A = this chain, B = another copy of it.
Amino acid sequence: MSALAGKTAENLSKIRKTKPLIHNITNFVVMNFTANALLACGASPVMAHADNEVEEMVEHAGALVLNIGTLSDAWVSSMIKAGRKASELGKPIILDPVGAGATNLRTNAAKAILAQTWVSVIRGNASEILSLAGQHSAAKGVDAADSLADAALAAGALARELGTTLAITGEVDLVTDGRRTLTIEGGHALMPYVTGTGCAATALVGAFHAVDKDPVSAAATALAFLGVAGETAGAKSSGPGSFMIHLLDALYSLSPDEAEARSRIRQS
């Protein structure tokens, strides 16, 4: 049985009933796939990035997703503006630090968003999230730990340092707010061959967070649901093209009960 028993089904049902509006300021590469993933699971995506529109748009939204791929200075400003408004309104912000660590623009943008807005969850891979930590952080083991237990300890320390919930995806996903740490299994080997599956994970965390105020359970159930959908899709696919299509079908077709029954969320 899954930790957070019943929560995956409950959150998915709420999304399908209430169709929360998810405001995305995200990268050009994944906009289409992200919108389709949100629609498939039952949420209502909107993409809006203009400086003179984002504050008004975020007022309508249940969550704000900020994704720093294909960045430019104007987009960083809009993200911070939207993020400040969301912080003021108490709406959850989910940050995807795509490529943080690869260039200064990206690392600095992610740090500026963290400093100037109230980010509820960061969803990224270990190296992206590590690049946001202080230079001598004890948390560095998060990407090179000898065991999952060591990685979980390091992730918890990092969450405390950054003051937010982390959703670190990889072979096994880790969600931690520094006190509670959960592991999530699932997914499929084809996932890294489809662009935007990580970004879609972030957007789904947004949808789940729009209906579940607890960042840890929102992130963990979103990743568990995506993992189940990935398994369903992978079983039918003959490559990354068909995987992408079957994944959207699965996000739409999986019932809350089946998603719950197959969720593999564990206490770490």
Binary CB contact string for chain A from 36 to 50 against chain B (1 if under 8 A, 0 otherwise):
100110000111111
Q: A29-B31, A52-B73 are in contact. List 17 more A-B contacts (CB 8 A).
A: A29-B47, A32-B32, A35-B196, A36-B194, A39-B240, A46-B102, A48-B71, A48-B99, A52-B105, A56-B104, A56-B105, A238-B249, A238-B253, A239-B248, A239-B253, A241-B244, A241-B247
Query: Is there an interface contact between A195 and B239, defined as CB atoms closer than 8 Å?
Result: no
Chain A interface residues (CB < 8 Å from chain B): 27-33, 35-36, 39-40, 45-53, 56-57, 60, 69-73, 99, 102-106, 192-196, 237-242, 244-253
Across the interface, A39 reaches (CB within 8 A) one of B31, B53, B194, B252, namely: B194
Query: Is there an interface contact between A30 and B32, defined as CB atoms closer than 8 Å?
Result: yes
Contacts of A49 in B (CB 8 A): 70, 72
Query: Is there an interface contact between A239 and B249, defined as CB atoms closer than 8 Å?
Result: yes
- Pick the 8 closest A-B CB pairs, nearest first: A239-B249, A241-B248, A241-B245, A35-B195, A53-B105, A239-B252, A50-B72, A56-B103
